[in-house]
Structure 1
Amino acid sequence: MNHMTSQFKSTDKVNTFDKIISLGCNCELTWNIRNYFGIECAYPMDWWITPFQALEKLLENRFHDLFNINNLEVSEDLLTVRDKYYNLLYHHDFKKTEDDKIIEDCIEQQIPLLKQKYTMLVERFFKDPENKRVLFIRNRDGNIPHLDPDTTPMDRTGIPLNSCTLSWRNCSLILK
């Protein structure tokens, strides 16, 4: 196992990165990145469940209005909190009971600290790639309980037909 904390190197320059950043779709990817590379630095989508259309909307809106109480609903089985605007799940952000159920009556009290935390993570997400070689990684979407189906049009290879672009000085993220 290769635990590199500041640089992720290969024998050729093409595969050398300063940062590796998860773009979701779920926490499994972040767990694997942290476990394999020994990375501790957090980003907004590390522990969310984000279908592709949610990722696209988050990037287009630059994560505006996260944790808006009017957009949040606790799932009927109390396992997660859904953001109805972005159609994503805040699966690990809210306090739970010992049997892993969301504590419904304290959701609103947790919002200020979550907004503060994610404001910092979003700032890091946009700042860290500046002047660095960054590898953005995203794992597969699937049928995700508690969410509306992802309606992103895909081509025959499973690549989204619409595109979303973010640019930094030395880095571009193009989702097509």
Structure 2
Amino acid sequence: MENYQHVISLGHFCAVASELERLGYRDASLPFDWLITPFESVMHMIETNFNDFLVLENLKRDEKRKYIIKDTKYNIAFYHDYKPNQSIETQHEIVKAKYDRRIKRFYDYITEKTLFIRYIESKKEYEFICENYDHIMSVLRKYNKDNDLMLVSKDIKAVELPMHTIYLDNVPYKTPQKFAKTNKELYKVLTSIPYPDEKRMLNINRYRKSFPKRFFNSLRKLYIKLIYS
């Protein structure tokens, strides 16, 4: 089987990108990596070139958790991009520019053979995928006919979908941060993805070297949650 040139997270939460990074498949930062996203919104944004994404008027700060900013148009939550002690307005230009770069990179990447991975959030999302499967695949394959979609789910019904779906039968809580590590079947599937060996090793080495930075960021995020929750 021909290699995928990219393996890309479509959410719904940060752990998908984190697991891909840990396993050596994450090439660079992309728009859905660090967001909480409904899949319907993800597909709409891909299809419409992210029209009205990150429009300032649509951004609202969570009243209880001040470090979370929500895009009310798409029902998306930003956990990592806006500082809680500064206004949205003063930070918006920098955040918007960052996501514009990620969006451009996303569309550049998916013209090459890409495997998209989505963690199914809920039964409602599962039903959306079932009802819209053909359209979802037509959107993803608009950019390259060999693009594929893999779904990860805790809902056993998801195995009925006509695509490669992994059911997590031993995940004890809603949003596991290392779901691939806790499921042998999924780990085997993910580590067997056809992907350039040299590229994967470069990604793994970069991940290992970033440990001090990631450790510091995790402490900083914990501090922010304690102070602003």
Whether the TM-score (by the shorter chain) exceeds 0.5 is yes
Q: Provide TM-score, normalisation by structure 2.
A: 0.56
Q: What is the aligned counterpart of 1:123 among 93, 101, 104?
A: 104
Report the equivalent of 2:11.
24
**Inter-partner Cα distance in structure 1 for 2:89 and 2:82:** 10
Runs of at least 5 residues in structure 2 that lack an aligned partner in the other structure: 151-160, 162-229
Q: 1:133, CA displacement in angstroms?
A: 1.9
Aligned to 2:116: 136
Cα distance in 2, alignment partners of residues 106 and 43 from structure 1: 24
**Corresponding residue for 1:81?**
69
- Within 5 A, what are the aligned runs for 1:1-176? 13=1, 16-37=3-24, 39-77=26-64, 78-95=66-83, 102-103=84-85, 105-130=86-111, 132-142=112-122, 154=127, 159-162=129-132, 163-164=135-136, 165-166=139-140, 167-172=142-147
- Report how far residue 112 of structure 1 moved: 0.8
Letter in 1 for 2:47: E
Identity of matched residues, %? 27
CA distance in 2, matches of 1:152, 1:33: 22
Secondary structure at the aligned position of 2:20 is classed as helix
CA distance in 1 between counterparts of 2:60 and 2:124 reads 21
Select the structure that is richer in helix.
Answer: 2
Q: Give the counterpart letter for 2:131 in structure 1.
A: L
Runs of 4+ in 1 over 2 A off after TM superposition: 150-153, 169-176
RMSD of aligned C-alpha atoms?
2.5
TM-score, with structure 1 as normaliser: 0.72
**SS at 2:87's partner residue?**
helix
Partners of 2:148 and 2:47 in 1: CA distance: 12
Shift of 1:115: 1.4
How many residue pairs match? The answer is 145
- 1:173 to partner: Cα distance: 5.8
SS at match of 1:28: helix
Q: Larger deviation: 24-33 or 160-169?
A: 160-169
